[in-house]
Amino acid sequence: MSTESKMDCGRRRLIIATAAVGGAGAVVAMVPFLSSMLPSERAKAAGAPVEVDIGSVGPGQMITVEWRGKPVWVFNRNQEMLDTLPKLDGVLADPKSEVDHQPANCKNETRSIKPNVLVAVGICTHLGCSPSSKFQHGPADGMAADWLGGFLCPCHGSTFDFAGRVFKSMPAPSNLIVPPHTYLTDTRILIGEDKKGA
């Protein structure tokens, strides 16, 4: 092998090694730049949809998840709870949910996509307090004898039925808000996104 050939091989190796090191350095230098363009965890929490597994939420049970810094209830209503809804139309401020505090596919008596599962923002529409559950009938939960169950805002006394509809003459001006949501499967809900036709 000639000396010239040996020099060409040496140069080629040097060029390849230099290019590899330079390329790796460029990738390392770009990582912080590219990651700075991604939304922060705080930004994701502020508006990103939240996926919830409701498979373990039995009839009559409720869980609370956080979406956009707000508590969101996912409430699996049993048949007895659903049966109270039509009985209350005469004592509710907005029984047909005329005020748009729910997606179009939840504008019904149950205010839900599936009749038994209510997804609602757990914040009173009066001054932003968080209502508590009063699921028992009447005095069993410290309520009036004709109470059929629902929610009570302890701050100013607003009451809501099992669909989050406010009773008449209450400080809360409107029903609880139902956020946009969609079912990914029978047991998984995506809160914060409303896929039409889902």
The per-residue pLDDT for range 45-65, each reduced to its tens digit, is: 557 899 999 999 999 999 999
pLDDT the model gives residue 148: 94
pLDDT at 167: 95
pLDDT tens, 63-102? 999 999 999 999 999 999 999 999 999 999 999 999 989 9
pLDDT in tens, 116-173: 999 999 999 988 788 999 999 888 888 899 999 999 998 888 999 999 999 999 999 9
pTM for this prediction: 0.73
Please write down the long-range contacts of 153-157, taking CB distance under 8 Å and 24 or more positions apart: 153/124, 153/126, 153/129, 154/129, 155/124, 155/126, 155/127, 155/129, 156/124, 156/126, 156/127, 156/129
How far apart, in whole angstroms, are the C-alpha atoms of residue 103 and residue 108?
10
